[in-house]
Structure 1
Amino acid sequence: MRAFSELLDRLVLTPSRNGKLTLMRDYFAATPDPDRGYALAALTGGLDIVNLKAGTIRALAMERIDEVLFGYSYDYVGDLAETVSLVWPESENADAVPEPALADVVETLQATSRASAPEKFVAFMDALDTSGRYALIKLMTGGMRIGVSARLAKQALADFGGVDVTEIEELWHGLEVPYQPLFDWLEKKTPKPERLANALYRPVMLATPLEEPDYGRILPDEYRAEWKWDGIRVQVSSEGGIHRLYTRTGDDISATFPDLLGTIDFEAVLDGELLVGVPGEHVGTFSDLQQRLNRKSVPEKLKRDYPVFVRIYDLLMQEGEDLRGMPFDARRARLEQFMGELDADRFDLSAQITYEDVADLDRKRLDPPHPVIEGVMLKHKDSPYVTGRPKGPWFKWKRDPFTVDAVLMYAQRGHGKRSSLYSDFTFGVWDEIDGALQLVPVGKAYFGFTDEELKRIDKFVRDNTIDRFGPVRSVRANRENGLVLEIAFEGLNRSARHKSGVAMRFPRVSRLRWDKPTAEADTLESLKALLPATGPADVI
């Protein structure tokens, strides 16, 4: 357990991507099986153990420490796992109890019922040091939050074995924890595992942003244009009677969309965009799609109110034949023929855009026929379907982001290396309520600023705190005082869940407007003017 806890500590404190890769690669090289396999599962979100809710862990900690002292400690540290690991009292016989290995912890918790999990948790906490306790809490809450994505962990694994990460991704969903065949192959002890299951994930091809120097190469005879829809990129994989739905990063989200997978009756791998609505009748907003995302169970009413379909971009496999090496135009021709085999209520074909030149395409990009379109995609007619983001074959040309001047209202400490700084910000705009202008919260942002700018905002929060609500600080914000933030966002939707009635898509801080008076920030009325039209205009 010690090696794993030290890895987590170092990952939290290492900001650079290359630094994190080195730490994980060295860990895989130095750690024996099955510990390294369980660590890999934890880093990639694949560990199946009983989880404790944060409230339960907090309650167990407060049985051992004064409640007020715990509150002060948590307020200062800003992270529950770190706070509990620090304040948990050392056991009187800690020296006599050997520290458990990571495999012992995981296998014990896998065999533990939910009712007895707190007892096992306490026993392990008493046997571990501060770093070990922190790692245990991260395991049991099911969220690492250490700045490592599943993709980054797989890249470190690829670096360790000297292979391309795409080879690992194509095997990934056929492997079982603790990944012994995978490590044996990476250490050259055994041949590469054969395809271990049907309907596995194929790494997707990505596009690079179109920039002005490349405008001259965009010719109708060379590049095919399609609308870029504001859903989520997915891969539909159906082989040998197995049906799977993957995100662009390879996460299996099949269980969330049983109504979609239940209509599959074909052998193919498709690349497309998951959207809410019915093809040819209606396309919902990203906010509508969020009603369906990240759910363990899907009520029938939700499936009826928010039906989903996939707008197909590409055909990667058909009846066991790999089409990825074919030119785009050839794959498109095969796709057009194949569409007749699909359920028309759940799958439709992404339409191609005719254009005369790049200027004509730009005009269409800036005035798309549907509010859920966020730009255009450009694909070279001869481009094979290759993994990664090569520059040239595919471009994306998004609409320019919207911006609004808003006022900072609330701040909360971040996590990991940001746990000592206020870095999560709620901002608002002016609205007339009972005859007076008041600030109404319209969104949250936690990136878009430099480290130096973050320090300045943090100082502003500390100097201008007027109230406290647990870890949240309310800051001075009125017509005369406050900090104006220029917020950039990709789109705006109506939202019954937000008091303001609107929800922003990908909000981030684009500029700090120290120069601008708070009274000159935008209004809710001007923000709502950006809302997309609804009704018949949504049909496409």
Structure 2
Amino acid sequence: MKPFAALLDALIFMPSRNGKLRLMTEYFVTTPDPDRGYALAALTGDLNFRGAKPALVRQLVAERVDPELFGWSYDFVGDLAETAALIWPERPTNRDWPHLAEVVEALNGAGRAEVPALLAGWLDALDATGRWALLKLITGGLRVGVSARLAKTAVAAIGGQDVAEVEEVWHGLTLPYEPLFAWVEGRAERPNVAAGAGFRPLMLANPLEERDADSLDIALYRAEWKWDGIRVQMAAKGGERRIYSRTGDDISGAFPDLLEAMEFDAVVDGELLVLRDGAVAPFNDLQQRLNRKSVTAKMLRDYPAHVRLYDLLFEEEEDLRPLSFDARRLRLEQWHGRVAPKRTDLSPLIPVSDIESLRHLRAGARDQSIEGLMLKRADSPYLAGRPKGPWFKWKRDPLTLDVVLMYAQRGHGKRSSFYSDYTFGVWREEAAGGPILVPVGKAYSGFTDEELLRIDKWVRAHTTNRFGPVREVEPGLVFEVAFDSAHPSPRHKSGYALRFPRIHRIRWDKPIEEADRIEAVAGLVAV
């Protein structure tokens, strides 16, 4: 645990991507199996301990510390693991720090009733940094500024491999990934996952700025609509069927209707949508199907899943990714016409002759509830990651509203001491009592560090109520928020929710009475 705790502690204070990459690579090179494999699983979010949950941590702390003191401390710190690690009473012990593998294997093998004693014993043996790392590990929220892809990049760097190669074998591996480390260190062959339905890293597009559009030689590109769903990969090979998100997460369990329709031997790339009578439903309908471990018959009926296909990566055993986009598109059309897989169709290509006609189409995209346009070079092979130049996404301009800050919550990691997560609302006229604020969204981004400090100070000075790490504030601060679209939402008191809201400007100058009303949100639902 000591090297792992030191790694997490160093990562959270390292601001640069390259610095984090160096720290992880050094750890993987100097740490033996199986500890480094379990550390990699923790960094990629692939560890889960059913018997060790945040409620257990609170219970153990409450048995050793005054609950009122713990409550106030948690409210101030804003992070459970950090609070518990600092407030846990020191108890001198001769017990050595456990190895990371010892912790993981003991928790996986323990019954639920055994976990509290295991955890308490480790917490007594560790120092504050070790306790923090242990609690971060078991509760599954490291929040050290490392994505799963960056952790895999660090593994690839050990032997100078391409991270796309690591991602391609990833889903054929099991903990603690010893064959993976043996391969990148040159001690074994590349793990063979070709026979299964593993994830193939997606090719991603770069944003196209308006100022750069005129410099494109549009004759070299093909245009498609950017559909308002989520990017997925459907892989059916070797008798296996899997559906992956763009980051490689297996989301098959939430879409049994799509799995049933995958009666083919191929790997395809497309957009997951809810489709009714040929029309794409609002994104909010798709959200009803996302992040679910199981779905009901009613949900399958009310929110029918569909995939609009963009690309064909494998046809049976043939890898089509080295072919040009035009060649792959022809193969996709031929394959789809021959196989006719259910619950799929093809994303149509848009005939275009010049950039001005594209601008006109993009301007009208919102009327069709489409996010914008995709531009793909006709000669581009399918390359993992986000290469510069071959593919562009040209999104429609965002919508904006003036909203009022209602609640603020402490952030995580480097922001755990600041109120950086903001719930905001608009005015709604009540029959009795005049206008009230009703929430329509939450934003975590769009402001500078200097602006964060100023907002945090304002929140502390204008708090009217506290709910753990959340503060209710008096109406007084207006944000101009940008967002992609507005949708009906029964989960919000307002009846509406904004998609991808972010703070565009902080309107210190604007009176709250001039913020937008619920009618303005309703008027944007169909926009």
Q: Do these two structures clear the TM 0.5 threshold for a shared fold by scoring above it? A: yes
Q: What is residue 504 of structure 2 aligned with on the other side?
A: 510
The one-letter code sitting in structure 1 at the alignment partner of 2:44 is: T
Which structure 2 residues correspond to residues 260-299 of structure 1 after superposition, within 5 A? 260-278=258-276, 281-299=278-296
* Separation (CA, whole Å) in 2 of partners of 1:185 and 1:381: 35
Indicate whether 1:349 and 2:346 are aligned: yes
Q: What is residue 359 of structure 1 aligned with on the other side?
A: 356
The one-letter code sitting in structure 2 at the alignment partner of 1:355 is: V
- Secondary structure at the residue paired with 2:465? strand
* Separation (CA, whole Å) in 2 of partners of 1:359 and 1:300: 47
Counterparts in 2 of 1:287 and 1:59: CA distance versus 1, 3 Å: same
* Separation (CA, whole Å) in 1 of partners of 2:342 and 2:236: 18
TM-score, normalized by length of structure 1?
Answer: 0.94
Q: What is residue 44 of structure 1 aligned with on the other side?
A: 44
Q: What is residue 136 of structure 1 aligned with on the other side?
A: 134
* Separation (CA, whole Å) in 1 of partners of 2:144 and 2:218: 45
Q: What is residue 337 of structure 2 aligned with on the other side?
A: 340
Counterparts in 2 of 1:332 and 1:350: CA distance versus 1, 3 Å: same
The one-letter code sitting in structure 1 at the alignment partner of 2:351 is: T
Q: What is residue 325 of structure 1 aligned with on the other side?
A: 322
Q: What is residue 394 of structure 1 aligned with on the other side?
A: 391
Q: What is residue 426 of structure 2 aligned with on the other side?
A: 429
Native 8 Å contact 2:268 2:312 kept in 1: yes
* Separation (CA, whole Å) in 2 of partners of 1:387 and 1:198: 19
Q: What is residue 168 of structure 1 aligned with on the other side?
A: 166
Indicate whether 1:183 and 2:181 are aligned: yes
| Aligned counterpart for 1:419 among listed residues 416, 422, 429 | 416
CA drift of 1:21 comes to 1.1
User: Identity percentage over the alignment?
Assistant: 59
Native 8 Å contact 1:263 1:343 kept in 2: no
Gap runs ≥5 in structure 2: none
TM-score, normalized by length of structure 2?
Answer: 0.96
Stretch moving more, 512-521 or 216-225: 216-225
* Separation (CA, whole Å) in 2 of partners of 1:357 and 1:196: 42
Q: What is residue 490 of structure 1 aligned with on the other side?
A: 484
| Aligned counterpart for 2:253 among listed residues 250, 255, 280 | 255
* Separation (CA, whole Å) in 1 of partners of 2:195 and 2:175: 15
- What is the CA deviation profile of residues 495-517 of structure 1, one whole-angstrom value per residue up to 9, with x for unaligned ones? 11111111111111111111211
* Separation (CA, whole Å) in 1 of partners of 2:339 and 2:275: 16
Native 8 Å contact 1:51 1:141 kept in 2: no
CA drift of 1:108 comes to 0.6
Which structure 2 residues correspond to residues 16-415 of structure 1 after superposition, within 5 A? 16-92=16-92, 94=93, 96-195=94-193, 197-216=195-214, 218=216, 221-278=219-276, 281-342=278-339, 345-368=342-365, 371-415=368-412
* Separation (CA, whole Å) in 1 of partners of 2:62 and 2:339: 57
Native 8 Å contact 1:412 1:422 kept in 2: yes
Native 8 Å contact 1:218 1:357 kept in 2: no
Q: What is residue 455 of structure 2 aligned with on the other side?
A: 457
Native 8 Å contact 1:406 1:429 kept in 2: yes
CA drift of 1:354 comes to 2.2
Native 8 Å contact 2:195 2:238 kept in 1: no
- What is the CA deviation profile of residues 43-94 of structure 1, one whole-angstrom value per residue up to 9, with x for unaligned ones? 11122433423222212210111111111111111101111111112224x2
* Separation (CA, whole Å) in 2 of partners of 1:311 and 1:118: 48
CA drift of 1:252 comes to 1.6
Q: What is residue 538 of structure 1 aligned with on the other side?
A: none
The one-letter code sitting in structure 2 at the alignment partner of 1:452 is: E
- Secondary structure at the residue paired with 2:482? strand
The one-letter code sitting in structure 2 at the alignment partner of 1:417 is: K
Counterparts in 2 of 1:314 and 1:60: CA distance versus 1, 3 Å: same
* Separation (CA, whole Å) in 1 of partners of 2:210 and 2:397: 14
Native 8 Å contact 1:174 1:197 kept in 2: no
- Secondary structure at the residue paired with 2:334? helix
Compute the RMSD of aligned alpha carbons: 1.7
Q: What is residue 466 of structure 1 aligned with on the other side?
A: 464
Gap runs ≥5 in structure 1: 534-540
CA drift of 1:345 comes to 4.2
Stretch moving more, 409-418 or 435-444: 435-444
The one-letter code sitting in structure 1 at the alignment partner of 2:361 is: K
Counterparts in 2 of 1:225 and 1:466: CA distance versus 1, 3 Å: same
* Separation (CA, whole Å) in 2 of partners of 1:172 and 1:138: 23
